[in-house]
Amino acid sequence: MAGGAPTHRSNRSPSLIVMHVVVLGAGLAGLATAYELAKAGVPVTVVEKADYAGGMACSWEKGGFWLDHGPHRFHSRDEDLIKHLYEVLDDDIVIRDRMSRIYMQGKFFDYPLKAMNVLKGLPKGLMIKAIWDYIWIRTTQVFKPIPDDNFENWVKKRFGKTLYEIFFGSYTSKAWKMPCDQISADWASQRISQANLWDTIVKTLNPPREGEVRSLVNEFWYPRSGGIGQIGRKYAEKIEEMGGRVLLETPVTRIEVEDGVAKRAICTTKDGEEIALECDELVNTIPLPRLLEALDPAIGEAERDAIKALRYLGIVFVYLEVQQPTVSPDHWVYLPEKHLTVHRISEFKNFSDADAPGDRTVVCCEITCNVGDEHWNMDIDEATALAESDLVKVGLLEPGTARGIDLHKLPYAYPVYDLTYKENLETLKRAAKQVKNLRTTGRQGLYRYNNMDHSIAMGRRTAKTLAKGVDARAEEVAAEQEYFG
């Protein structure tokens, strides 16, 4: 097989025929797939467009700091998945208790919301209004139920208009660059941990026992050194040690399909050489639209229209070095107010002490945008000035105390859950299923806004399905309407 690994008999069993699997994308889902396949003795090749492994969960060193693409944390109730993380990182892990807040009305509030914190922080008149709005909406629900047909309705019927406007609507419309009544209710059910205001009060006074709900998983795991990207680096290292291949700077340009079967992935190396990777099975973790555009024969007009309708938000990350030991105790802080451009900040030193020198820190400032707009096109000086101004306004920095040390941009940061995304996504998933030996998984492969533990679980289940021939139901991971944290 040109450029690929031949089908051969495994040395583990004289009767077991082993296939060659090609994995598109070296993000966490792709790497987890390849890692488990390599452990099972299955020949596997990962191809990745970037010059690093890890996808969005990558890290790099700059001026003595390890930088991530915003706040990444591994948290799970799955003991086997946690054990897997320790295996990949050789037990080199720190455990942290999550601290995150939201800045509103000139104050910092705990997030997820805690009833006592909100009661103490909001002005008395506003709090009375919020409680009255909640009672009113719950009463009117009895006679005229509000449908869960968009984000705004989902939140208002559970928290009332006042709390919706203060805590939920302002941040969401700012981050997503669209009105909340144009956003699917799926986003609310996955990203708001409490069922309603009463649920918030109950959980504050009587927190659930460990394992009952994902929403209050405060403990998380993080690499001791090397940033979150250490996971991807260790995956790649171990895959190659077990005989697999991870080809960086090798994007896929074409998938040749014959009689409904993907026969080979045509890729281009960093030297400009075109290589053909023969495959018995193909696992996709790159953005689903890009996969379908690479299929040969080409997809039809309906699929092309669906691709045009599915949208992504980009993020600009600007990294500010500050000449002080720390800026805040938080892992991250949400900034929903619309007079601020930055929508979230994170401080990596709070994830692991090894990520920054003791006398200095770095604050990562995130700005959501549409690719090509004014914020996307900012240079580091423009982004630094904007981010520093916002942090001064909320009282975290003094003017002139920060300098920009890096600027990164991700075009496929968030899949946009608008009101038509499900219909368009189903069109693309049906097209992918027409290729018999193609499996698409992970955040990008499923157009699903899930967490990193979900992506790893998807990859491991995909590998199990291929290695053992039993459907491990990878697509069911993070498919329920549950809070993702």
Q: 434 and 397, same structural domain?
A: no
- The count of structural domains within the chain is 3
Residue 262 has pLDDT above 50, yes or no: yes
Q: What residue numbers bound the domain in which 147 lies?
A: 101-216
Tell whether 12 is covered by a domain. yes
Phi, psi angles (nearest 5°) of residue 170: -65, -45
Q: 271 and 191, same structural domain?
A: no
The CATH number of the domain holding residue 345 is 3.90.660.20
Q: 453 and 357, same structural domain?
A: no
Q: 207 and 345, same structural domain?
A: no
- The single-letter DSSP state of residue 477 is T
Q: 323 and 290, same structural domain?
A: no
Q: Which tokens belong to 250?
A: 């090798």
Q: Cis check for the bond before 251: say yes or no (omega within 30 of 0).
A: no
Residue 149 has pLDDT above 70, yes or no: yes
pLDDT on residue 17: 45
Average pLDDT over residues 390-396: 97
Q: 393 and 319, same structural domain?
A: yes
pLDDT on residue 470: 87
Q: Decide which of 78 and 480 is more confident.
A: 78
Tell whether 484 is covered by a domain. no
Q: Which tokens belong to 17?
A: 């025929």
pLDDT on residue 207: 54
Residue 195 has pLDDT above 60, yes or no: no
Q: 112 and 175, same structural domain?
A: yes
Q: 304 and 423, same structural domain?
A: yes
pLDDT on residue 483: 38
Ramachandran quadrant class, 466 (left: phi over 0; alpha: psi -120 to 50; beta: rest) = alpha
Query: Of 216, 240, 261, which residue sits at a domain end?
Result: 216
Q: What is the pLDDT of residues 53-75, one digit of tens each?
A: 999 999 999 999 999 999 999 99
Query: To the nearest whole number, what is the mean pLDDT of the chain?
Result: 89
Whole-prediction pTM: 0.90
**Cα separation of 286 and 402, whole Å?**
36
Q: Which helix (H) or strand (E) holds 116?
A: helix 115-121
Q: 211 and 115, same structural domain?
A: yes
Q: What is the pLDDT of residues 209-232, one digit of tens each?
A: 544 444 445 899 999 999 999 999
Average pLDDT over residues 110-129: 82
**Cα separation of 432 and 95, whole Å?**
39
Tell whether 162 is covered by a domain. yes
Q: 332 and 257, same structural domain?
A: no
Tell whether 91 is covered by a domain. no
Which residue, among 385, 390, 409, has the nearest Cα to 313 in the 3D structure?
409
